[in-house]
Protein backbone atom coordinates (compact mmCIF):
# COMPACT_ATOMS: atom_id res chain seq x y z
CA UNK A 1 0.00 0.00 0.00
CA UNK A 2 1.31 3.38 -0.92
CA UNK A 3 0.92 6.39 1.32
CA UNK A 4 -1.98 8.67 0.50
CA UNK A 5 -3.79 6.05 -1.50
CA UNK A 6 -6.42 3.78 -0.02
CA UNK A 7 -6.93 0.32 -1.28
CA UNK A 8 -10.24 -1.53 -1.03
CA UNK A 9 -8.35 -4.31 0.69
CA UNK A 10 -7.06 -1.96 3.38
CA UNK A 11 -10.59 -1.03 4.47
CA UNK A 12 -12.12 -4.46 4.18
CA UNK A 13 -14.24 -4.27 7.38
CA UNK A 14 -15.74 -0.93 6.35
CA UNK A 15 -16.24 -2.01 2.74
CA UNK A 16 -17.93 -5.23 3.74
CA UNK A 17 -20.26 -3.37 6.12
CA UNK A 18 -21.21 -0.91 3.36
CA UNK A 19 -21.66 -3.75 0.89
CA UNK A 20 -23.85 -5.63 3.42
CA UNK A 21 -26.05 -2.57 4.00
CA UNK A 22 -26.32 -2.01 0.27
CA UNK A 23 -27.43 -5.60 -0.30
CA UNK A 24 -29.95 -5.34 2.58
CA UNK A 25 -31.49 -2.17 1.15
CA UNK A 26 -31.65 -3.74 -2.32
CA UNK A 27 -33.33 -6.82 -0.89
CA UNK A 28 -35.91 -4.65 0.89
CA UNK A 29 -36.51 -2.55 -2.20
CA UNK A 30 -36.98 -5.66 -4.34
CA UNK A 31 -39.22 -7.44 -1.85
CA UNK A 32 -42.27 -8.82 -3.54
CA UNK A 33 -45.22 -7.17 -1.77
CA UNK A 34 -47.51 -10.25 -1.81
CA UNK A 35 -44.79 -12.26 -0.07
CA UNK A 36 -44.52 -9.57 2.60
CA UNK A 37 -48.32 -9.53 2.99
CA UNK A 38 -48.43 -13.32 3.41
CA UNK A 39 -46.57 -13.15 6.72
CA UNK A 40 -48.20 -10.02 8.08
CA UNK A 41 -49.82 -9.77 11.51
CA UNK A 42 -53.17 -8.02 11.73
CA UNK A 43 -53.22 -4.86 13.88
CA UNK A 44 -54.24 -4.84 17.54
CA UNK A 45 -57.42 -2.78 17.54
CA UNK A 46 -60.20 -2.31 20.10
CA UNK A 47 -62.54 -0.65 17.62
CA UNK A 48 -62.41 -2.66 14.38
CA UNK A 49 -62.32 -6.31 13.40
CA UNK A 50 -59.65 -7.21 10.85
CA UNK A 51 -59.42 -10.02 8.36
CA UNK A 52 -57.02 -11.12 5.68
CA UNK A 53 -58.24 -13.15 2.74
CA UNK A 54 -56.27 -16.01 1.21
CA UNK A 55 -55.72 -13.59 -1.71
CA UNK A 56 -53.78 -11.51 0.89
CA UNK A 57 -56.25 -8.59 0.77
CA UNK A 58 -56.83 -7.03 4.20
CA UNK A 59 -60.19 -5.66 5.36
CA UNK A 60 -61.11 -3.51 8.35
CA UNK A 61 -64.67 -3.39 9.63
CA UNK A 62 -67.12 -5.33 11.74
CA UNK A 63 -67.79 -9.05 11.71
CA UNK A 64 -71.55 -9.54 11.58
CA UNK A 65 -71.87 -13.33 11.67
CA UNK A 66 -70.80 -16.66 10.27
CA UNK A 67 -73.46 -19.08 9.17
CA UNK A 68 -73.35 -21.93 6.66
CA UNK A 69 -69.62 -21.27 6.04
CA UNK A 70 -70.36 -17.68 4.92
CA UNK A 71 -68.87 -14.82 6.93
CA UNK A 72 -70.73 -11.50 6.79
CA UNK A 73 -68.35 -8.59 7.22
CA UNK A 74 -69.31 -4.90 7.21
CA UNK A 75 -66.65 -2.58 5.81
CA UNK A 76 -67.06 1.20 5.51
CA UNK A 77 -65.93 1.13 1.89
CA UNK A 78 -67.48 -2.16 0.75
CA UNK A 79 -70.64 -2.23 2.92
CA UNK A 80 -71.72 -5.69 4.08
CA UNK A 81 -70.08 -8.46 2.09
CA UNK A 82 -70.33 -12.24 2.28
CA UNK A 83 -67.06 -14.18 2.26
CA UNK A 84 -66.57 -17.94 2.09
CA UNK A 85 -65.07 -19.15 5.39
CA UNK A 86 -62.41 -21.08 3.46
CA UNK A 87 -61.21 -17.76 1.93
CA UNK A 88 -60.25 -16.33 5.35
CA UNK A 89 -56.51 -16.50 6.06
CA UNK A 90 -56.57 -14.43 9.27
CA UNK A 91 -59.27 -12.93 11.45
CA UNK A 92 -59.05 -10.84 14.60
CA UNK A 93 -62.11 -9.49 16.42
CA UNK A 94 -62.06 -6.32 18.49
CA UNK A 95 -65.06 -7.24 20.63
CA UNK A 96 -66.21 -10.59 22.03
CA UNK A 97 -68.10 -12.95 19.76
CA UNK A 98 -70.17 -16.01 20.61
CA UNK A 99 -69.14 -19.14 18.77
CA UNK A 100 -71.39 -22.14 18.23
CA UNK A 101 -69.40 -25.32 17.79
CA UNK A 102 -70.21 -28.49 15.88
CA UNK A 103 -70.64 -30.34 19.21
CA UNK A 104 -73.46 -27.81 19.97
CA UNK A 105 -71.47 -26.10 22.75
CA UNK A 106 -70.94 -22.32 22.79
CA UNK A 107 -68.16 -20.06 24.02
CA UNK A 108 -67.70 -16.31 24.05
CA UNK A 109 -64.53 -14.22 23.77
CA UNK A 110 -62.10 -12.40 21.50
CA UNK A 111 -61.47 -14.53 18.41
CA UNK A 112 -58.17 -14.80 16.55
CA UNK A 113 -57.75 -17.11 13.55
CA UNK A 114 -54.29 -17.40 12.00
CA UNK A 115 -52.32 -20.05 10.13
CA UNK A 116 -55.08 -22.65 10.39
CA UNK A 117 -55.37 -22.23 14.17
CA UNK A 118 -58.04 -20.48 16.19
CA UNK A 119 -57.89 -18.92 19.64
CA UNK A 120 -60.72 -17.70 21.83
CA UNK A 121 -59.38 -15.48 24.62
CA UNK A 122 -56.01 -17.15 24.04
CA UNK A 123 -57.27 -20.75 24.27
CA UNK A 124 -56.51 -22.76 21.14
CA UNK A 125 -59.12 -24.82 19.31
CA UNK A 126 -59.62 -26.26 15.84
CA UNK A 127 -61.35 -23.69 13.57
CA UNK A 128 -62.97 -26.60 11.69
CA UNK A 129 -65.21 -27.03 14.76
CA UNK A 130 -66.78 -23.58 14.30
CA UNK A 131 -70.39 -23.80 13.14
CA UNK A 132 -71.59 -20.22 13.77
CA UNK A 133 -70.26 -16.88 14.97
CA UNK A 134 -72.41 -14.01 16.20
CA UNK A 135 -71.66 -10.81 18.05
CA UNK A 136 -71.70 -11.32 21.80
CA UNK A 137 -74.07 -9.30 23.95
CA UNK A 138 -72.06 -6.15 24.65
CA UNK A 139 -74.46 -4.96 27.34
CA UNK A 140 -73.34 -5.70 30.89
CA UNK A 141 -75.87 -5.86 33.69
CA UNK A 142 -75.45 -3.57 36.66
CA UNK A 143 -75.88 -4.84 40.21
CA UNK A 144 -79.26 -3.08 40.38
CA UNK A 145 -80.44 -4.80 37.20
CA UNK A 146 -79.34 -8.18 38.55
CA UNK A 147 -81.23 -7.54 41.83
CA UNK A 148 -84.33 -6.47 39.91
CA UNK A 149 -84.22 -9.64 37.81
CA UNK A 150 -83.81 -11.71 40.99
CA UNK A 151 -86.79 -9.99 42.64
CA UNK A 152 -88.91 -10.48 39.52
CA UNK A 153 -87.90 -14.15 39.40
CA UNK A 154 -88.89 -14.56 43.06
CA UNK A 155 -92.21 -12.86 42.36
CA UNK A 156 -92.89 -15.23 39.47
CA UNK A 157 -91.98 -18.24 41.63
CA UNK A 158 -94.28 -16.94 44.38
CA UNK A 159 -97.11 -16.50 41.89
CA UNK A 160 -96.57 -20.02 40.55
CA UNK A 161 -96.70 -21.38 44.11
CA UNK A 162 -99.93 -19.46 44.70
CA UNK A 163 -101.42 -20.90 41.51
CA UNK A 164 -100.42 -24.43 42.60
CA UNK A 165 -102.04 -23.89 46.00
CA UNK A 166 -105.22 -22.58 44.35
CA UNK A 167 -105.28 -25.57 42.00
CA UNK A 168 -104.84 -27.96 44.93
CA UNK A 169 -107.71 -26.31 46.78
CA UNK A 170 -109.87 -26.44 43.66
CA UNK A 171 -109.09 -30.13 43.15
CA UNK A 172 -109.85 -30.85 46.79
CA UNK A 173 -113.18 -29.03 46.54
CA UNK A 174 -114.05 -30.87 43.32
CA UNK A 175 -113.14 -34.24 44.79
CA UNK A 176 -115.22 -33.53 47.92
CA UNK A 177 -118.11 -32.28 45.85
CA UNK A 178 -118.05 -35.28 43.48
CA UNK A 179 -117.80 -37.79 46.32
CA UNK A 180 -120.77 -36.39 48.21
Residue 176 lies in a domain: yes
Q: Whole-model pTM?
A: 0.57
Q: What is the 3-state secondary structure (H, E, C) of the chain?
A: CCCCCCCHHHHHHHHHHHHHHHHHHHHHHCCCHHHHHHCCCCCCCCCCEEEEECCCCEEEEEEEEEECCEEEEEECCCEEEEEEHHHEEEEECCCCEEEEECCCCEEEECEEEECCEEEECCEEECHHHEEEEEECCCCCCCHHHHHHHHHHHHHHHHHHHHHHHHHHHHHHHHHHHHHC
Q: Do 49 and 124 share a structural domain?
A: yes
Residue 55 lies in a domain: yes
- 149 versus 99: the higher-pLDDT residue is 99
Q: Do 128 and 54 share a structural domain?
A: yes
Q: Do 115 and 162 share a structural domain?
A: no
pLDDT in the model for residue 18: 38
- 81 versus 172: the higher-pLDDT residue is 81
Amino acid sequence: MTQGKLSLFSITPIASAILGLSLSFNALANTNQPDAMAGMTLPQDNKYDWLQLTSLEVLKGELKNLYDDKLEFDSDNLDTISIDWEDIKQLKTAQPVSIGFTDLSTKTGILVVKDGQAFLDGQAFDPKNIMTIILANKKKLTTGQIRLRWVLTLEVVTQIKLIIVLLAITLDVLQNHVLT
